[in-house]
């Protein structure tokens, strides 16, 4: 099999592509993304040209007839053309000028960065060949880190540590490498050691503050004060900068002190050394705080301000796209998120948010690719891991789902969404006690979530704790009245309690909320059968069939209703479909066989009864049914015989011998069943074994004299086939299970640039400018992309 996304070969029957992670059997590739609208930049340019054309028309009409001695119409036409052309050329020239300027500057910076890093790497490798000093090893590790070669950098730091490196520079930079690899707890230890040894560098304190917030299970008062004090140490060493106030504000946001956070972001706006870019960051951060305060309108205003200051701010644009999606504007929101990725393809939150948008419109595989790219960019954020886990769990790819959700839980153990998802996996695995623990923990972290309460109720239903399950599901449905699935799960619970009428009422409620779910109609149809409302049941199953033609259980249920209504031909037609689509369902073969038997088509009946025995051997009636069908075949064949020595007679005897084998197997299961002994006796008689027949009938008289007297001579001429009946409908087994939902996908409103940066201590003068040059290069790259939006 070839993956349609990456072209990689996969194993036949594989569910997930080993190379790119997409779900090979997902139907989302057929989902159409919203059609893109005209770009904002193009709209602005068109509007400017239109305004210039109108102004030109007015000027041309008033002035050109006087100056050029032409008619007013000609003057108007010339004015329109001149005005539009002038603005078009000027705007196009401006874009071309800045494109060339940014491109040239960007190429210069990239060339300089590459040259410096390449020469430094070569220099330190040569030094290490001659004399492996810790300074050379540490500088080489930094060079790798500046080239985003995180694993190589970690390896060099490990070698340096073995060589005895113990200075603050080592602990700080090794901490940065570990943090960028996603190993936040280990990096925290490194930053703590760097800060304790440090006296005149701000980087360890800034990194320690960042790590405290990243690693804390809950950002409580103690962690908040500790992180703020580290930022303050950085300010005292390096002086006041806008970035430090942004850091303080984000720490306060994590601690849910939003008003204090906004005050810090305001200080960043007015801090000495500000630029339009730092101000754009601050306004974006204010938007994040306002959104957390549920002030969506204020958040949108701040984001728009940030984008006016810096149209290339990919993170602010990504946040704007998320707000659009949350307000129900899917097309514009997704287009905005795509534009944000174009501006800033190396930002993990931006890629995660685009994946979130893709999944919201059903393009799951596109979402998978974005989430995987986000993880590669920053392995330390939990959102893309959770989102991947949710996709795979919803697609029943449990192994891959568990791997991603486990990592998400390691990064953020306070995510109730992740705890619920892992709880669902444990339910799939039959580990109900573990599932309950995870769900209870999720409910503690975020109490009264209808989703959590509902799944806890489902879990208790499976455990047989029906009263507790009912309480939880009722509480969940009260909190989320419009959730049809909760009513459906209550209906399934009442089926377990054999409260069929109440179950039907719950399924009816679910249908009133969402009439397009086929499974609800199937389940209410089962309740209607039990209550004798056969016509209503037929209508329900037909509705289920219309909504979900591939739902295979419907045929059996329709056949069952027809059989109850004595419409045997219609029942046979439905059950013939059942055994095709549910070949491993024994009751389907039994009832089709019984229907054939009642229609005296014993050959087909025997064929179905044989298939039943191939599926199960623990039910006496299955062997008895086959024995009777074979016996009836033998009687019919014997009627075509002329003598006791012809082929028909011999074939009849053979059928009765086969029947005897089945009666014997039935008697192993129920040795004292008088009906079996009676029928076996008659089969012995037809198989030319009269002595055995008399023994069987003697056993019948001994076991149940009343039965023997009632049957008298009849048992010597007619089989007792009163037990050849349809299998009763098992409502619980035939009810459609409603798959519990996971929580929604999660997004991340991204903070401004540099706020998630880990600061290196660089001793090599040649490398000291690289972080700033890289920052400028990235800014130019975004500005260049912004010109095309």
Whole-Å CA distances, 463 to 425, 458, 467, 493 = 16, 9, 11, 11
What is the C-alpha separation between 683 and 695, in angstroms, rounded? 12
Q: Which of 48-62, 122-136, 354-368, 627-641 has the lowest mean pLDDT?
A: 48-62
Q: What pLDDT shows up at residue 415?
A: 93
- Note the pLDDT of residue 94: 65
Cα atoms found within 13 Å of the Cα of residue 68, Cβ hemisphere only: 15
**What's the pLDDT tens digit per position in 239-254?**
999 999 999 999 999 8
Residue-wise pLDDT for 94-134, tens only, equals 677 778 888 899 899 999 999 999 999 899 988 888 877 88
pLDDT at 470 over 70: yes
Secondary structure string (H, E, C) spanning 156-167: HHHHHHHCCCCC
pLDDT grade, residue 93 (50/70/90)? low
Under a CB-based contact definition with an 8 Å cutoff, are residues 334 and 34 in contact? yes
* Residue the block writes with tokens 């690693």: 215
Q: What is the DSSP string of 462-498?
A: HHT-HHHHHHHHHHHHHH-TT-HHHHHHHHHHHHHTT
How does the average pLDDT of the chain come out, rounded?
A: 90
* Residue 32 pLDDT exceeds 70: no
pTM attached to this predicted model: 0.83
N- to C-terminal Cα distance for the chain? Answer: 38
List Cβ neighbours of 759 (8 Å cut-off, separation of 6 or more). Answer: 172, 176, 202, 203, 206, 207
Confidence of residue 49 (pLDDT cuts 50, 70, 90): low
Q: Tell me: pLDDT of 455 over 90.
A: yes
pLDDT of residue 435: 96
pLDDT at 692: 92
For 521-579, the pLDDT digits (tens) are: 999 999 999 999 999 999 999 999 999 999 999 999 999 999 999 999 999 999 999 99
Q: Are 366 and 357 in contact (CB under 8 A)?
A: no
pLDDT, residue 529, reads: 96
pLDDT in tens, 613-656: 999 999 999 999 999 999 999 988 888 877 777 888 888 889 98
What CA–CA distance (Å, rounded) separates 409 from 255?
A: 20
Question: What confidence tens digit (pLDDT) does each residue in 374-384 have?
Answer: 999 998 899 99
């Amino acid at each position: 099999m070839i993956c349609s996304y990456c072209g990689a070969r996969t194993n036949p029957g594989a569910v997930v592509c080993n190379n790119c992670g997409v779900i090979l059997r997902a139907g989302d590739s057929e989902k159409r993304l919203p059609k893109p609208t005209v770009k904002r930049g193009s709209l602005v340019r068109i509007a400017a040209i239109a305004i210039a054309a109108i102004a030109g028309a007015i000027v041309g009409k008033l002035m050109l007839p006087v100056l050029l001695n032409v008619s007013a119409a000609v003057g108007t036409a010339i004015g329109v053309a001149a005005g539009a052309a002038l603005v078009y050329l000027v705007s196009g020239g401006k874009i071309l000028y800045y494109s060339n300027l940014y491109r040239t500057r960007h190429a210069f910076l990239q060339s300089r960065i590459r040259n410096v890093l390449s020469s430094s790497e070569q220099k330190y490798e040569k030094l290490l060949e001659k004399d492996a000093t810790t300074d050379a090893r540490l500088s080489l590790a930094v060079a790798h880190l500046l080239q985003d070669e995180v694993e190589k950098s970690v390896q060099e730091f490990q070698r340096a540590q073995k060589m005895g490196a113990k200075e603050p520079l080592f602990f700080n930079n090794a901490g940065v490498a570990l943090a960028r690899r996603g190993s936040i707890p280990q990096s925290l230890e490194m930053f703590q050691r760097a800060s304790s040894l440090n006296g005149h560098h701000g980087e360890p304190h800034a990194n320690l503050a960042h790590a405290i917030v990243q690693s804390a299970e809950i950002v409580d008062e103690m962690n908040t004060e500790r992180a703020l004090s580290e930022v303050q140490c950085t300010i005292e060493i390096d002086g006041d900068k806008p970035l430090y106030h942004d850091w303080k504000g984000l720490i306060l946001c994590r601690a849910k002190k939003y008003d204090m956070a906004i005050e810090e972001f305001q200080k960043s706006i007015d801090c000495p050394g500000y630029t339009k870019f730092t101000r754009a960051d601050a306004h974006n951060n204010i938007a994040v705080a306002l959104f957390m305060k549920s002030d969506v309108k204020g958040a949108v205003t701040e984001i728009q301000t940030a984008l006016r200051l810096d149209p290339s701010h990919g993170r602010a644009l990504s946040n704007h796209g998320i707000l659009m999606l949350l307000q129900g504007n899917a097309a514009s929101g997704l287009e905005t998120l795509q534009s944000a990725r174009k501006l800033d393809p190396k930002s993990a939150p931006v890629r995660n948010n685009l994946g979130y948008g893709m999944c919201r419109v059903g393009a799951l595989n596109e979402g998978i690719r974005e989430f995987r790219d986000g993880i590669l960019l920053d392995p330390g954020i939990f959102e893309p891991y959770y989102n991947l886990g949710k996709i795979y769990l919803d697609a029943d790819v449990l192994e891959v789902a568990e791997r991603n959700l486990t990592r998400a839980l390691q990064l953020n153990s306070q995510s109730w969404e992740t705890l619920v998802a892992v709880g669902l996996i444990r339910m799939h695995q039959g580990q109900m006690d573990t599932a309950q623990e995870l769900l209870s923990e999720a409910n503690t972290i975020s109490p009264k979530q209808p989703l959590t309460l509902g799944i806890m109720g489902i879990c208790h239903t499976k455990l047989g704790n029906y009263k507790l399950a009912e309480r939880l599901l009722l509480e969940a449905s009260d909190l989320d009245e419009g959730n049809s699935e909760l009513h459906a799960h209550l209906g399934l619970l009442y089926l377990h309690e054999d409260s069929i009428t109440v179950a039907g009422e719950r399924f009816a409620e679910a249908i009133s909320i969402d009439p397009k779910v086929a499974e609800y109609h199937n389940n209410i149809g089962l309740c209607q059968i039990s209550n004798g409302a056969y016509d209503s049941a037929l209508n329900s199953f037909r509705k289920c069939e219309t909504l979900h033609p591939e739902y295979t259980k419907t045929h059996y249920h329709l056949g069952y209703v027809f059989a109850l209504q004595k419409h045997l031909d219609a029942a046979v037609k439905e059950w013939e479909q059942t055994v095709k689509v549910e070949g491993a369902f024994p009751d389907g073969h039994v009832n089709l066989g019984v229907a054939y038997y009642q229609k005296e088509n014993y050959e087909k009946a025997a064929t179905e009864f044989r298939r039943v025995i191939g599926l199960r051997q623990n039910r006496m009636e299955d062997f008895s049914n086959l024995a009777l069908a074979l016996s009836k075949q033998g009687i019919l064949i014997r009627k075509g015989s002329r003598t006791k020595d012809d082929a028909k007679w011999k074939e009849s005897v053979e059928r009765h011998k086969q029947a005897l084998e089945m009666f014997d197997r039935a008697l192993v299961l129920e040795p004292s069943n008088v009906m079996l002994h009676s029928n076996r006796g008659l089969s012995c008689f037809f198989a030319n074994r009269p002595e055995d027949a008399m023994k069987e009938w003697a056993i019948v008289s001994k076991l149940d004299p009343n039965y023997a007297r009632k049957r008298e001579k009849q048992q010597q001429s007619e089989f007792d086939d009163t037990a050849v009946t349809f299998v009763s409908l098992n409502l619980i087994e035939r009810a459609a299970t409603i798959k519990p939902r996971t929580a929604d996908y999660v997004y991340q409103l991204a903070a401004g640039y540099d706020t998630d940066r880990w600061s290196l201590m660089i001793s090599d003068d040649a490398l000291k400018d690289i972080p700033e040059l890289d920052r400028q290069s990235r800014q130019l790259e975004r500005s260049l992309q912004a010109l095309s939006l």
